[in-house]
């Protein structure tokens, strides 16, 4: 199982979405049977992890989880912070400039048997940042523009997940100026994380929905590149109402930010 990106992008556009989170959703290799998952109450650290500067001539960027093997290739520390803490760039403050520019490769396995879930994956990234990059940070709340995710007037039209016990998955495909996102086994809290890379403000769940769902969003994100023959889907704000019965409302609200107190380039392996 994996998160796939298939979209025609303008130059440089794909780099914005290089961390396939999933960003927060682990990339899982296709297997004939579901992977053995780590116990849900496990708090994994790294059994072994190598961290080294990336090859500057290699432009490939991945975050890949295959069984217990976790690989980050050509990723910045900014991406690791975003993925590990589920934050947008605007929610990370006081970080040194090199975290946006210098790229690293990380390769390792956890110290617990089984494949980590999303939250365990994030916890491992946070521990890596502390242990190898000497991250010291604290959290604050600051008033920022955000989007509230709410129920639309006539209520949600989401389908209950066919396999609610499976990890959330997102497949992304598209064409010129539009994309289709297919979500499976996804909670509303998962959605707030998965949409980090597609919105320019934090997303706050105010739906009150507690289940996991399968649903699809198809929308135009760049009207200048979208088809002009009337076949282009609506923008995200209209699509999310018409297609799944949710809505996005801008508001100014206290939002969690991560304040970097200190951060160093990684110590030797």
Tell me: do 129 and 162 sit in the same domain.
Answer: no
Sequence-distant (6+) residues with CB within 8 A of 20 are: 3, 5, 27, 62, 63
Burial environment of residue 241 by CB neighbours within 10 A (0 to 12, 13 to 18, 19 or more): middle
pLDDT in tens, 228-238: 898 999 999 99
Tell me: do 48 and 171 sit in the same domain.
Answer: no
Tell me: do 63 and 103 sit in the same domain.
Answer: yes
- Does 174 fall in a domain? yes
Tell me: do 225 and 128 sit in the same domain.
Answer: no
Tell me: do 120 and 161 sit in the same domain.
Answer: no
Q: Show the tokens assigned to 210.
A: 């507690």
Tell me: do 127 and 183 sit in the same domain.
Answer: no
**First-residue to last-residue Cα distance in the chain:** 31
DSSP letter string, 71-119: EEEEEEHHHHHHHHHT--GGGEES--GGGGT-EEEEEEEESSSSB--HH
Tell me: do 210 and 93 sit in the same domain.
Answer: no
- Does 267 fall in a domain? no
Q: Show the tokens assigned to 196.
A: 């980090």
Longest dimension (CA), the chain: 57
- Does 268 fall in a domain? no
pTM of the model: 0.69
The domain tally of the chain equals 2
Tell me: do 147 and 132 sit in the same domain.
Answer: no
Tell me: do 93 and 195 sit in the same domain.
Answer: no
pLDDT of res. 251: 93
Tell me: do 120 and 147 sit in the same domain.
Answer: no
Tell me: do 115 and 163 sit in the same domain.
Answer: no
CA distances, 179 to each of 182, 195, 199, 216 (Å): 10, 13, 14, 11
- Residue 125 domain boundaries: 4-141+257-262
Tell me: do 165 and 56 sit in the same domain.
Answer: no
| Alpha carbon of residue 154 to chain centroid | 29
Report the alpha-carbon distance of residue 91 to residue 143 in Å, rounded: 11
- Does 269 fall in a domain? no
Query: pLDDT under 70 in the chain at which residues?
Result: 1-34, 268
């Amino acid at each position: 199982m994996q998160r796939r990106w298939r979209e025609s992008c303008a130059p440089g556009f794909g780099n914005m979405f290089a961390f396939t989170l999933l960003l927060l959703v682990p990339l899982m290799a296709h297997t004939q049977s579901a992977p053995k998952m780590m116990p849900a109450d496990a708090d994994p650290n790294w059994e072994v992890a190598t961290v080294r500067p990336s090859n500057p001539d290699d432009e490939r960027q991945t975050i890949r989880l295959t069984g217990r093997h976790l690989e980050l290739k050509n990723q910045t520390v900014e991406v690791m912070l975003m993925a590990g803490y589920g934050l947008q760039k605007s929610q990370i403050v006081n970080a040194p400039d090199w975290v946006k520019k210098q790229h690293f490769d990380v390769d390792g396995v956890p110290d617990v048997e089984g494949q980590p879930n999303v939250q365990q994956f994030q916890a491992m990234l946070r521990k890596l940042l502390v242990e190898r990059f000497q991250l010291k940070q604290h959290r604050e709340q600051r008033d920022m523009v955000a989007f509230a995710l709410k129920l639309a007037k006539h209520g949600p039209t989401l389908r209950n997940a066919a396999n609610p016990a499976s990890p959330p998955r997102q497949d992304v495909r598209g064409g010129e100026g539009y994309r289709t996102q297919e979500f499976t086994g996804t909670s509303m809290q998962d959605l707030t994380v998965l949409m980090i890379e597609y919105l320019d403000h934090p997303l706050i769940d105010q739906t009150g929905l507690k289940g996991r769902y399968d649903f699809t969003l198809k929308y135009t994100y760049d009207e200048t590149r979208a088809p002009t023959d009337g076949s282009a889907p609506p923008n995200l704000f209209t699509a999310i109402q018409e297609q799944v019965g949710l809505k996005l409302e801008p508001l100014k609200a206290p939002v969690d930010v991560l304040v970097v107190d200190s951060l160093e380039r990684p110590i030797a392996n």
